[in-house]
Structure 1
């Protein structure tokens, strides 16, 4: 497939793209790139250094009819055991956070999609800008957070975003204002066939001490309620209107339920985690079976069909 991209086998580069600007790996295990630590191999794993390089890569893939997939930091992502065909693009190097006009527009912040949510929160805190305190409880990358309008009880991306830029599959830029993004609870109208690359935020002045105190309280609350040091996706299911998925799962008696190496966390029922202490090792198929079982049982007991927050991609073995 590298030859279709214009690169010789074993090459680190693509035609007309400086190899220093594009990292390529063949048959890369996706388990290395998801927080669940599950998933089969990607044919080609690509990490461009900047947006122009990404655009050139997308253009080349479109011209040679190679499928592409977009992966951020791998939170809220389950890759099937058969892996992914084509090119998997990771934006980890496209991660700048800036305040381009601190004197004229002091609350305006620009962030690239590969930046971690922690990096954005840290920079905003250093600038004494509030509005993204909710990111103290949201892992992952900004791009993924924008697509799913990630948030906590302190807020969500829709509260601060003014503009989003993405690239289509040909590498062409699309710009959307806030209204065109269609943000809603854990979702948006940002097309899944585009790759979000950049966002403009409008924050608000706030003393650092206040930001730090609120973020610390949020993190303490989450630490008390959520399992730690186990591969997981965070919340597996969206909260239905007026209720909590974790409560419904717990009342249905499903804490501790397992399928192979996948288990409903005894600490928080909406966290489906990987038990790394058993053999054979957990597979993506185990996790998918557990997701389907929990959803069916909650619907049987409560008459409520849960929707997943987790995105499932890839092929069965």
Structure 2
């Protein structure tokens, strides 16, 4: 039950393999724009095929730090790093017109040779909505909008000809998405809300829950599986993923110093922190419950020691686990 495949788009339909994706920072360090791409290239050069995908968050600003626009970055990544899949973790559904997003996704899927994953969620960061003058309806409405977005994406990608749609929140009149994606675009739905997971059960290929320890993750996973069973969908057809920080050290103290010295909100229980053996044990507990895709922000990469602990100790320990 293991895979170290690169994301060449040829085997995305496979399930029950363990994969890693690399999560990126929201933007470059202050005053050093080149570090964003230089560090990424160096990190991937050291990680090689131990990761299969690259993931970018979708925010306009974050804690006052420099922030890049997600879709622009994804397009760059797809061209610069042709051996890896790319995806957003996750797009705020409110930020882009659904029909336009369908065309954007189809375009990127075709130009990348089938290496795009559509990660999407209901949206949550109210200060961004307010700052950029986006309407910020109550959670119930945003989740309804998410479902309509998912319906529109799938219809425009899969149905021939022009598409019309008359929803409570979004409407199309003879919308057009050509050329269609050259292969199906996997949909990742992110979120742990009851109704969000209901939509994931119906429309998603991958479900993601970020920054949760095992107990809360399993509680939500159980809800997701009940939703799937209620509509007659085999839970084995869904990939379950985790997104968050990973801090490795030669000792537990070194890992904690590296991984817990960021913002106070990133606590030990919401990340994988420790020696490679300790982190392998933490991750293995998720694997045994059905989580098989780990999207990780590797704290300290591209440091040689950090990347070496990941490739030479953590990955072999998991393969043996």
- Could you state the TM-score of these two structures normalised by the residue count of structure 2? 0.28
* Structure ranking higher in strand proportion: 1
* Structure ranking higher in helix proportion: 2
Structure of higher CA gyration radius: 1
- Could you state the TM-score of these two structures normalised by the residue count of structure 1? 0.29
